[in-house]
Structure 1
Amino acid sequence: MASVRPLRPAAPTPAPVVATPAKPEKPPKAKAIRTPVVPAPPPLAKAPPRAPRPGVTLDGGWDKRLTKGAVVPDTAIDLHGHTLASAHALLDAGLDRAIGNGDRVLLLVTGKPPRPESERPHARGAIRAAVQDWLMASRHAGRIAAVRGAHPRHGGQGALYIILRRSRGG
């Protein structure tokens, strides 16, 4: 530090200013303006957690195996010959049983969708049309990882794979 020289000469320090007490002045009176008090909005309620939608995600390996038909379903549920009400009950019971057994892939046979040239398209495919809604509204919706069309060896357009999530328990 002894060899360091300042680049500019130091500025002289100003003499301290002594403040003299001044007589305080009264500020002019302002008119009081009343503004209405607006209550703060209530905090937003947290949205209830939604169950994951079935059929949203699978990794590429699953999709490749499903496309090639390399996946063997653990369980199959056939809804042929059922009314909408009995098919819904059978699907719910089948999902319950498959989850209880620890199955991962369910084959759901719904029947082929109506042909475009069909005169009465509403006469065929009613169960297949309702299956996605049933699965999303199901009490098991959180356990369904994906829903995909089946390979031709498992029914093609007349069937679906329901891939269940792994159970979190030991």
Structure 2
Amino acid sequence: MARRHLSPDEAALWTALTRSVRPIRPHGRVMPALPTQPVAVTPKTGLTPPLRQTPTPAPVAVRTPAAVLDTGWEKRIRGGTISPDMSIDLHGHSLSAAHVRLNQAIASALARDARVLLVVTGKPPKNAADGASRRGAIRGEIGHWIETSPYADRIASVRVAHPRHGGDGALYLVLRRKK
């Protein structure tokens, strides 16, 4: 199928539309700002020039948890020799209560200069009704909670815990040091 080029009217409409779109997650990919150009008013379409918007400052780069830490941390996590400074048990709580408790625990760990927070979410059910393994409700939401937490930039890594600390039913939150 051959590509059709936009008419000047369609291009003006498209430009006006793209300027009005705001990202759901502002810390995601950053698109360069488009230069603002007035849209021509034509009797045919009745378009009016869009209001000029003041340029928004470039978003600050948000640090995200790393998939892999340095060799020392990796050996300690795999070998189970890591010792959590604090722990919190979320299973058995409602989703809203677990979310609040998680944020409180992260704030408390940061206030105490803890490096590793053990978060017990509970293991996924072994016998799912549909035959497939399903994640528990808290385990299914915890990634989103951590990502949108006010402390997200203070979390260096999120890892599945060693079996001695709960295995699939728990996570290590490795916290960044204070600056």
What's the TM-score once normalised by structure 2's chain length?
A: 0.65
| Contact persistence 1:56–1:145 (CA under 8 A) | no
State yes or no: 1:74 paired with 2:64.
no
Q: Distance in 2 between matches of 1:128 and 1:149?
A: 11
Matches within 5 A, 1:1-170: 41-42=35-36, 47-115=58-126, 117-119=127-129, 125-168=136-179
Deviation at 1:55, TM superposition (A): 3.9
What's the TM-score once normalised by structure 1's chain length?
A: 0.68
Alpha carbons of structure 1 residues 46 and 57: separation in structure 2 relative to 1, 3 Å? farther
Higher relative contact order (CA 8 A, sep 6+): 1
Deviation at 1:63, TM superposition (A): 1.0
Q: Distance in 1 between matches of 2:60 and 2:98?
A: 29
**Where does the alignment leave 5 or more consecutive residues of structure 2 unmatched?**
1-33, 37-53
Share of identical aligned residues, percent?
48
Larger Rg: 1
**Where does the alignment leave 5 or more consecutive residues of structure 1 unmatched?**
1-39
| Contact persistence 2:128–2:134 (CA under 8 A) | no
CA RMSD of aligned residues (A): 2.4
Report the secondary structure of 1:163's partner residue: strand
* Number of equivalenced pairs: 128
Report the secondary structure of 1:129's partner residue: helix
